[in-house]
Amino acid sequence: MIVPREIQTSAAVAEHYDELDPFYREIWGEHVHHGLWESGRETSQEAIEALIAHLASTLDLQPGQHICDVGCGYGATAEWLAGRHGVRVTGLTLSSAQIRQAQARSAASSQLHFSQQDWLENEFGDETFDHVFAIESSEHMPDKQRFFNEAFRTLHPGGRLAVYAWLARTSARPWEERYLLEPICREGRLPGMGSEAEYRAWAGKAGFVVDGFEDLSTRVRRTWALCTGRVARKLLTHTQYRRYLLDAHARNRIFALSVPRIWVAYLTGSMRYGLLTAHKPK
């Protein structure tokens, strides 16, 4: 696993999303995750919804099921799934800025419930959920084995787990780790970035049967080309962006460097993006 030189805690993750909240909403919008491009002609919104629809298909969602969104962001993905598949969604986030947006959505829907809590210290009972999913949140977990252990504990027997994750190339070369992967972890507040083999091992040790893995790297990397362009345009046209980058008190301004760095990491194959699926045996 790629581990940053500086320890990244759950508190640092929460601070990252709280401090960068206005920038995330302007650059990424209401869904803080990758898009999935099939033809390359999709709009960003279409690609984002395609990634969620692919998740729903993988989980085989049925009306009335209770599912958990680990790292729910602003709650938009949970709202999309509830609206289109008739499921109940419980979501959790570390960020106070994100939970305010998410709870505004739950106020309008009995199918949604959000709370600000740490998944690794969650308060859910055993066998609470039909399915559990995480979209780009497992990377922020300091204890990835516990991430999988908690998913196993809170799932009904037969329930499915789906994890979209940023992954490091297996046996990354020294230059990839030094110039791309370690800085991405440090700048993005990732306590560690695992490989496909490590994710499979963590899932298996927790008790899951791994059903499959999809490498979606080439289908999602366009996200970062677009984000790099958006950040560049904001810096050229909005003074608040330039002021933020020059503010010595802004602890998370360094993430601006990771936006083009992640794009390069995808282009070189140093970083991968995968969907791991597993189930809890009956």
Question: What burial class does residue 280 get, using C-beta atoms within 10 Å of its C-beta: 0-12 exposed, 13-18 middle, 19+ buried?
Answer: buried
Please give the helix or strand (H or E) that residue 258 lies within, else none.
Answer: helix 255-268
| Domain annotation covers residue 1 | no
| Domain annotation covers residue 73 | yes
| Domain annotation covers residue 3 | no
Please give the helix or strand (H or E) that residue 204 lies within, else none.
Answer: helix 196-206
| Domain annotation covers residue 4 | no
Residue 237: the pLDDT is 74
| Residues 38, 47: Cα–Cα separation, whole Å | 8
Residue 227: the pLDDT is 80
Laid out side by side, the sheet with 271-279 consists of 112-116, 88-93, 66-70, 129-135, 155-168, 271-279, 209-215
- Give me the number of domains the chain comprises: 1
Contact 276, 210 (CB under 8 A): yes
| Domain annotation covers residue 220 | yes
Residue 250: the pLDDT is 63
| Domain annotation covers residue 202 | yes
| Domain annotation covers residue 2 | no
Residue 226: the pLDDT is 85
| Domain annotation covers residue 5 | no
Question: What burial class does residue 161 get, using C-beta atoms within 10 Å of its C-beta: 0-12 exposed, 13-18 middle, 19+ buried?
Answer: buried
Instruction: Print pLDDT tens along the chain (282 aa).
Output: 999 999 999 999 999 889 888 887 877 788 889 999 988 888 999 999 999 999 999 999 999 999 999 999 999 999 999 999 999 999 999 999 999 999 999 998 999 999 999 999 999 999 999 999 999 999 999 999 999 999 999 999 999 999 999 999 998 999 999 999 999 999 899 999 999 999 999 999 999 999 999 999 999 999 888 887 877 776 677 677 667 665 666 666 667 667 888 989 999 999 999 999 999 999
* CATH number of 64's domain: 3.40.50.150
Which ranges of 33-117 would DSSP assign to H, the alpha helix?
44-59, 76-85, 96-106
Within 8 A by CB and 6+ apart from 243, the residues are none
Residue 185: the pLDDT is 95
| C-alpha 202 chain-centroid distance | 17
Residue 40: the pLDDT is 81
Which structure tokens are listed for 218?
A: 């080439």
| Residues 223, 41: Cα–Cα separation, whole Å | 13
Q: Supply the range of the domain harboring residue 131.
A: 10-279
**What residues are paired with 278 via a beta bridge?**
161, 210
| Residues 201, 221: Cα–Cα separation, whole Å | 26
Rg (alpha carbons) of the chain, rounded to whole number = 18
Residues shown for the chain: 282
Please give the model's pTM, rounded to 2 decimal places.
0.92
| Residues 36, 52: Cα–Cα separation, whole Å | 9
